């Protein structure tokens, strides 16, 4: 792909996309691992062994034949001795200097304390995992996605949300009173057992600090009460968190306007969407496959909603479309302004401060403000 002038090569490449995705996965894995007490305690043990080994070598190398000049025999000498002190007691050949003996005794007591801490952490982790697996534990998360209900549709939804390709990736808290164990095994997915219309249950799900609430149709109920149940759940969630972005699934089109009065941000009626998609597919064959491809998170490009940087206010839609495509391989689809969507606007459509952009891209667009320096 080249620019309009035919000289500038795009910075987008498959290798760059793959590298950024790999980097995000590694960062996420490291961050999640460090949150575990067992990992932190294990890292402390390793760090203590290394630092103590170096210190013992420096102290003893002039007075003991066990510690020749650095770095020869260091691992067999000081590091091995500290390892024995940490995990087996003071049964290695003792150091010869007073300072070395003091350091050895200190390592011995610290080693015992660390082993006890590791044992306590493992025990508490097992108990917490057992409680969390049954949904009885209060989740300590924030900025998460709150999913009210669990069934086949919700399972597919969670599988999409936990896709490794999705960025940013948020933790998910499932609230359901009929499920004892989730079929999706992921460290970022939590279960809270209980009624999603009950305030105490929502408090255990930390709904007050959630980022988004998704309320699908409860297919375990009869059709006559499904939309009513959805309305009650939306009211309960918004009473605890009025600022939460709420998406609900509606069964009957005539109930959509009633649910919207509760203040939900998006009400999706499956019947309406199906009719519109089928109608459009009769004119543009293959449209349903295109929509399914775009809305699938685990491969290909995705649709991202990003804020327009102040530096780009006053630029035209066509200019930003060309810049994004040239520099990152992304396609600018629409502009959201004061609740209204402008898709591929005609003419000299100028961007304004406060606009939101819908972009089709293999990666989440970043540093859009840098485009202001080009053209």
pLDDT at 237 over 50: yes
The set of residues, in sequence order, having a beta carbon less than 8 Å from that of 345 and lying 6+ positions away, is 317, 335
Give 191-230 pLDDT, tens digit per residue.
Answer: 898 899 999 999 999 999 999 999 999 888 888 899 999 9
Q: Which of 196, 187, 188 is nearest to 151 (CA)?
A: 196
Residue 221, number of CB atoms within 10 A of its CB: 14
**pLDDT exceeding 90 applies to what percent of the chain?**
27
> For residues 309 and 370, what is the distance between their CA atoms, to the nearest angstrom?
9
User: Domains in the chain, please, with CATH?
Assistant: 1-30+301-375 (3.30.70.1450), 37-133 (1.10.287.70), 145-274 (3.40.50.720)
pLDDT beyond 70 at 90: no
Laid out side by side, the sheet with 266-269 consists of 189-193, 172-176, 145-148, 212-215, 245-250, 266-269
pLDDT averaged over every residue in the chain: 79
Cis geometry, peptide bond prior to residue 282 (ω within 30 degrees of 0): no
Q: What is the pLDDT of residues 247-282, one digit of tens each?
A: 999 998 889 988 988 899 999 998 888 888 899 999
pLDDT for 100: 73
Q: What is the 3-state secondary structure (H, E, C) of 90-143?
A: CCCCCCCCHHHHHHHHHHHHHHHHHHHHHHHHHHHHHHHHHHHHCCCCCCCCCC
Has residue 21 got a pLDDT over 70? no
């Amino acid at each position: 792909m080249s620019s309009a002038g035919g000289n500038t090569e795009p910075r987008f490449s498959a290798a760059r996309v793959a590298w950024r995705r790999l980097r995000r996965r590694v960062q996420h894995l490291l961050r999640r691992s460090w949150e575990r007490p067992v990992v932190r305690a294990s890292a402390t043990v390793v760090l203590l062994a290394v630092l103590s080994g170096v210190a013992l070598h420096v102290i003893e190398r002039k007075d003991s034949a066990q510690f020749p000049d650095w770095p020869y025999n260091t691992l067999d000498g000081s590091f091995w001795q500290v390892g024995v002190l940490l995990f087996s007691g003071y049964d290695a050949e003792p150091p010869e200097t007073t300072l070395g003996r003091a350091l050895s005794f200190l390592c011995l007591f610290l080693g015992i304390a660390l082993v006890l801490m590791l044992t306590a952490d493992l025990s508490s982790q097992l108990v917490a995992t057992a409680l969390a697996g049954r949904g009885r534990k209060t989740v300590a998360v924030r900025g998460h996605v709150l999913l009210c209900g669990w069934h086949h549709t919700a399972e597919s939804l969670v599988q999409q949300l936990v896709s490794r390709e999705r960025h940013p990736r948020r933790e998910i808290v499932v609230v359901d009173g009929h499920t004892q164990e989730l079929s999706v095994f992921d460290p970022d997915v939590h279960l809270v057992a209980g009624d999603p219309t009950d305030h105490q249950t929502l408090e255990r799900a930390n709904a007050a600090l959630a980022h988004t609430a998704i309320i699908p149709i409860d297919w375990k109920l009869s059709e006559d009460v499904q939309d009513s149940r959805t309305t009650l759940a939306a009211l309960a969630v918004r009473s605890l968190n009025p600022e939460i972005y709420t998406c609900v699934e509606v069964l009957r089109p005539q109930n959509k306007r009633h649910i919207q009065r509760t203040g939900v941000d998006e009400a999706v009626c499956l019947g309406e969407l199906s009719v519109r998609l089928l109608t459009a597919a009769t004119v543009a064959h293959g449209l349903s496959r295109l929509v399914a491809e775009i809305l699938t998170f685990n491969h290909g490009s995705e649709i991202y909603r990003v804020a327009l940087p102040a530096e780009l206010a006053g630029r035209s839609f066509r200019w930003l479309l060309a810049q994004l495509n040239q520099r990152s391989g992304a396609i600018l689809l629409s502009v959201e302004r004061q609740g209204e969507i402008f898709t591929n606007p005609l003419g000299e459509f100028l961007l304004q401060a406060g606009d939101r952009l819908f972009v089709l891209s293999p990666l989440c667009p970043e540093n859009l403000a840098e485009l202001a320096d080009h053209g």
